[in-house]
Structure 1
Amino acid sequence: MMPRDASDANDRSGDSSDDSSEGRGRWSDLDRPPLNAAALRRALLRDGGLWSGVDVVQSTGSTNTDLVALAASGKAAEGAVLIAEQQDAGRGRLDRTWTAPARSGLFFSVLLRPAEVPVQRWGWLPLLAGVAAATGLSRVAGVDTALKWPNDLLITVGDEERKTGGILAERAGDDGVVVGMGINVTLREDELPVPTAGSLALAGARTTDRDPVLRAVLRSLEDWYGRWREAGGDPAASGLQETYAAGCATLGRLVRAELPGDRTITGEAVAIDRDGRLVLATEDGVQEPVGAGDIVHLRLA
């Protein structure tokens, strides 16, 4: 998600019922119809609700960077949702790229301003988004969705565990966080960027209609964000810590943590602590919390 500037994104914005810039009609791919921005607004925007605006753009580099720029310029309120039908320079964790064919997935970012929550607890936001996404996807698509620490979305294709989505959170000034999400919905086997990737379609989802899938994820995110905020960001009191641990496929596994500075730790993932860190029990009998890095699942412990 590496955008052109926000004004460029706005120049290409509008309801996705418009024809695309390549001159193809809205039904050029019957398996991948465009999102209905007007219907999404009717479904999601309500008095007293979190979501304050829903905008769909045909194409951009990155919804995350576009929304960070809009927030910095004062043009986005908390609850703004920016969705792209296609991203050509999406970013995941650790500066990895995320690309997919147009309308094959959901690529969106939301702006949150949790003023009631101490900043030191904001690190829970990407994990919260993971719980919300997994809950929403399981509910609407009927697929068993798990979490790889910290915030990859895993599904089962055949007998293989595959990644179908990821989450990236970035600060937006002193008082905000932009949370971006990419979810593979109708990606076919020959379109996968890597063999370990998956999609809702490949997992046998009962629906691959992106409109209800997006609504379910955003409603779940609104619910979890509200609980977390009301608890002052306390992960235990809000139920977030327990729910994340229950749905985390990393716990109970032997894993390798690849840390900054080319350091690695191998151990059994035994817990998620109050700071959202993954706790590893090593062969030396030491429990080491991991707050940042790449986790490789090795096998069940």
Structure 2
Amino acid sequence: MSASFASALTAAHDAAASQNYPQACLYVVATPIGNLADISLRALHVLQRVDAIACEDTRHTQGLLRSYGLERPGHQLLAVHQHNEAEAAAGIIARLQQGQRIAYVSDAGTPGVSDPGARLCAAVAAAGLRAMPLPGASSITSALSVAGCVPHGQTEGGFVFAGFLPTKNAERQAAVHKLAAEPRCTVLLEAPHRIQDLAKALTVLGPRPVTLAREITKQFEQISTHAAHDVAAWLDADATRSKGEFVVVLHPVAVQQDGGDAERVLRLLLAELPTKTAVKLTAEITGGNRNTLYDRALEIKREADNA
């Protein structure tokens, strides 16, 4: 155990020991996404107290526990990951029915959000048992908290979580075109080896602001906002900018934009899509009149043919 966490265990006991921790309960525990100090006092206490810990990767979790001085015997770590979650849930439920307290942790962040855990919690609920959340680190809310996303005009507040887009190019392009019609803030996740492909796909969003947050809470954390059509070039300018896990935040769009913005969006979409589709998406993104945009699209097509 790192000496820096010895006092944290004492503080965890002092702060959380007097609270109620029912038996026959699944404790869904958020863990740090990079900075070990982001663990909560209640999480430390529960990880000490439970009978067993179900985890996405037993080796990863054992290393995490070791950092806090909470290393467990191997038989107390239960593998529950995306490939066995449905089957493993039956074993967890059997333990809960015996009155055990079981914690569940994913490799990083809050379980059940683009991580395993949702199927396990659904099975626990279906069995009439309790699941208790222990909130903590989340890359999604961390990125949103500093992105500065402000609704414009009649745009609704809140955000849409889209997670990872498809890996195949055509499917990814189709997904981005659907996102273009969503005026609310939209949050995506992406791996470093695919961030360039995503950036190129987002070019069709034109001037829409996009915040890239990588390596959140880690030593080389970087958070930067650019127009969608500039993101790929920004990544290309420095190879280190494509390293690390990414949260990508598409800012809300104004329901009403000026004619210059509508023109720009229309031209970008016409370069990639059939005329009717480009007009439809431009109208939804900018709030422009569809008939007017269609007439302008035909003019742009004629200009291109005569050039």
Per the normalisation by structure 1, the TM-score is 0.27
Larger Rg belongs to? 2
Larger relative strand fraction: 1
Larger relative helix fraction: 2
Per the normalisation by structure 2, the TM-score is 0.27
